Amino acid sequence: MNVRIIPRLDIKGPNLVKGIRFEGLRVLGKPEDFARRYYEHGADELIYMDVVASLYGRNSLLDIVERTSKEIFIPLTVGGGLRSVEDIRRVLRAGADKVSINTAALARPDLIQEASRAFGSSTIVVSIEAIRKPNGTYEAYVDYGRQSTGVDAVEWATRAAELGAGELLVTSIEREGTGKGFDLELTRKIAGSVPIPVIAAGGAGRVSHIHEAIVEGRADAVCVASLLHYHYFKDNDYDESDFQTEGNIEHLRRKGGLANVEEATLPGIKEYLLAHAIGCRWPQQACLTGAETT
């Protein structure tokens, strides 16, 4: 079994952003630039999450997806604001391989069944964003972590799998962007109760956290963001005028890191996992990789 390392790129308008617990979004660059670098450096898949679509309607996400899918040849999952089979079709036509749905699926669970029938189970990722309650259970949230639902996250996971989800993306909202490590109990509870693969998300701040998510959390794949973004964004050269109207660029200007987050590279993560007896894909032929990265 080879675990997948999946960079998650949160997108707001034309920009890659990153927040903490989905809030205080910082602009870090252009998603296509990060996508290309991650592809070249051995990312196993990519996730694009449109962080405002479910609240404010559509934007240029489809254009970004189309541009990206011409240059990267690994699976691309796209989510954020998809409400219907027709929405899903549009994103797939733009070049996504899978879609991630959360808000719309909780509002109308049959969407999972309809979508998996129309496009195949493996195309449908159900995203579950959860907050731990004082009694130790987990509640599913929608609208980018803003809206509670009263639905038990573990029960919802089981139901989503029964309805035909191909994979589950499980995010701890409290850990998201904090660098404090994954909520291993949440990951383990869900991974242990569904027959389909579970992607752990929210909290990776050290490479060792990924190891924990796999060994203790029983995750089949791991989603990372800050861990990579804050390393890779230093390499990018930007014209600040590109970002003038797009919110908080202070971080971009300073090229600073994040207190709780170490900087990692994809090859570094893979090397660490292999050294700790965790199977993962590593670049087989350096010359071949070099030849193809146009």
Partner 1 sequence: MAAAGVSYGSRNDVTERSSPSVKAAVVDYGLGNLFSVRRACEHVGMEVVVTPRKEEILGTDVVILPGVGAFGDAMATLRRLDLVEVLRDIANSDRPLIGICLGIQLLMSESCEFGVHKGLGIIEGSVVRFENPQERKRLLKVPQVQWNRIFHPNHRRQEGDPWRDTPLAGLAEGEFMYFVHSFYVRPTDPSVTLSVSRYGDVEFCSALRWRNVFACQFHPERSGSAGLLVYRNVASAVGQARGGSAA
Q: Which secondary-structure segment (H or E) carries 54?
A: helix 53-56
259 vs 287 by CB, closer to partner 1: 287
Whether 106 contacts 152, CB under 8 Å: no
- CB of 240 vs partner 1, minimal distance in Å: 33
Angstrom distance (rounded) from CA 199 to CA 260: 22
Q: Rule CB under 8 A: is residue 289 a binding residue for partner 1?
A: yes
Q: To the nearest 10°, the Cα dihedral for 159, 162, 164, 165?
A: 50
Contact positions with partner 1 (CB under 8 A) in 203-222: 220-221
- CB of 279 vs partner 1, minimal distance in Å: 9
Q: Which residue in 70, 110, 136, 237 binds partner 1 (CB under 8 A)?
A: 70
Single-letter residue type at 104: A
Residue range at the interface with partner 1 (CB under 8 A); choices 92-100, 144-152, 223-231, 234-242: 92-100
Q: Rule CB under 8 A: is residue 164 a binding residue for partner 1?
A: no
Angstrom distance (rounded) from CA 181 to CA 183: 7
Q: Are strands 98-101 and 124-132 parallel, antiparallel or unpaired?
A: parallel
Q: Rule CB under 8 A: is residue 288 a binding residue for partner 1?
A: yes
Q: Is 10 a catalytic residue?
A: yes
Exposure b/e, 78-114, CB count within 10 A at least 16 = b: bbbbbbeeebbebbbebbbbbbbbbbbbbeebebbbb
Q: Rule CB under 8 A: is residue 291 a binding residue for partner 1?
A: yes
Q: Which of 75, 74, 63 is nearest to 32 (CA)?
A: 63
151 vs 161 by CB, closer to partner 1: 161
Number of residues located near partner 1, criterion CB under 8 A: 39
- CB of 77 vs partner 1, minimal distance in Å: 11
Q: To the nearest 10°, the Cα dihedral for 256, 183, 82, 165?
A: 140
- Catalytic residues, by residue number, are 10, 129
Residues that bind partner 1 (CB under 8 A): 1-4, 39, 44, 69-70, 73-75, 92-97, 119-123, 166-167, 195-197, 220-221, 280-282, 284-285, 288-289, 291-293
